[in-house]
Structure 1
Amino acid sequence: MLLATTRPPSFIKVFSGRSLRCTSSSSSRSVVPLAHNALIPSNGNATKQPLIILHGLFGMKRNWNSLSKAFYQSLGRPIYTLDLRNHGSSPHVEPMTYAAMAADVLAFCRKHHLEEASLLGHSMGGKVAMALALNPELPLNLLKHLIVVDIAPAKAAMSPEFQGYVEVMKSIERRHVTSRQAAQKMLTSYESDPAIRAFLLTNLAPHHGHEPVRFHIPLDIIGKSIPAIGDFPYEPGERTWEGPTLFIKGSKSSYINHRNIPIAKQFFPNMVLEELDTHHWVHAEKPNEFKKVVVDFMTSH
């Protein structure tokens, strides 16, 4: 179990970004305001040396609640968890590219006047974090640490199951099922892992009585964006970020492997690699060990 309280101590202030909903087209230069939660120290510091956390595909800021509280207890720094575009309570908008998502995060950091931030991203969020670190518009004083969880800065087609998840979720809506249990049953025919099914079903919008269930993420946009989510906006050697960089690999996962580690080193020459005995959801499978690796890295660099 995670060594953290189920709620923050009384001296931690918790803020939640207001829910925003829109559907529109956008260029990669357009940014959207990202919903967020924040843990702010009692001394009022909301800007210096924060930890910013970015979730993966089909995730949301809420998934990181327990770990963000544990990070606060160990670090005593501002902790921000963000909903990336088309996830959680953030706006629904195209395109869903890494350039666009990184621009959203950069705009968030500028809006909140963040300095010397540690940026942590899992999977898709890890690619967003790397894209921001390599962005030529990155302010010199913004980024202090980069922490990438079980993903590499490589271009590769997404595994077919991700498109399959989108199609099953669309089917659940089309069939107007009226309960979480019925949605779970439909997902079971496609995904045997109960943990992954439960994770996907966190995207169900609240519903009452016999109303049909629906997902609060834009399945059409995400489905069309699967190829872009496998992409990366930079070529090896095109850009580098030379700050302290930590890659955390799940030893039972192949997302970071012997083929793409050299690519990561070209982008991030001062990287170190740590492994934990997990599959892809490293932070969920070994939360205590994960927290220790992250905190040790941040406090020793």
Structure 2
Amino acid sequence: MQKSQRLIQLIMRINAKPSFTVRELADEFGLSTRTITRDLLELSELGVPVYSIQGRGGGYKLLQERLLPPISFTEGEAIALFFACQTLDYFSSLPFGDGADSALHKFYHYLPADLKERIDRLKNRIMFWSPYRPMSAEILQTLMQAIMIGRVVAITYKSSGGISERNIQPIGLYSSSGYWYCPAYCFSKEDIRQFRADRILSAVLNDTIPCRADVSGKSLLDKPTKDHLEQTLLQLEMTSKGVWMLESNPHIAPYIQRNEDGSGTATIQIAAEDLSFYVDLIWQLGGEGKIVGPAEGVAYMKQKIESMCSLYRTEFL
């Protein structure tokens, strides 16, 4: 085995071991302890943070985070990975700390000059836009850490009802329209709830409450259903422009039935408690959409219209 190959395999071995001795590695590689000691010294000089353990038994371990061995990429893979990392540039906060920026800098630094030049030509010509939303990176990191190690998080949460203290078991993190969301089991409500990360005022790991095994097995693909709650049928009518405005909305688009003139209708079974959410969506259409039913939805829309009219009516009194 060539020395370069041996050093790569050595990195992989010590990454997989919490601690190790020179004798263990020597037996594993079929080499002398002197050769292994020399290899470890060379890895240390190359930046691999290996340090010796003093005391009975002795040995070595990694000082910091484990390092990955060198990986070869094709040009296409390199370009794809570079711009995949760059998609994160437009987020105000990330749950990865400085890891994304650091990884992108290292990756770009070691690319061949001609490939750098090709990537430079694409900069600011390929963008993955995300609206800027201010939020705490530390809170996102706490939520991600809780997901990785299986912990409950004590949070202070600001909702329309005020500020409350809660203990939650995060299921995952996802981003939509620049916001980060965290579906989690809420121990106060005894149910899965959706939390917007920018509304979490503080977050700390709470080891006093054990995680629920049934929640630990869930992922973002396990969308909670509300079939057990009271249901209602939301009926909509839309102009052709209204259809165009809603065809990208995942809550309504699958249910749109288009007419020959481009207008459309939709009938959606929803939980009654979500009716105001859907009415607020239709409100954004202005005169391009109309709620036909249920009566509670029509009444809520009329209430919104009256409130808006009274707001502007006072301007002219």
Q: Indicate the structure with greater helix content.
A: 2
Shorter chain as denominator, the TM-score bin is: under 0.3
Q: TM-score, normalised by structure 1?
A: 0.21
Question: Could you say which structure has the larger radius of gyration?
Answer: 2
Q: Relative contact order, CA 8 A, sep 6+: which one is greater? A: 1
Q: Indicate the structure with greater strand content.
A: 2
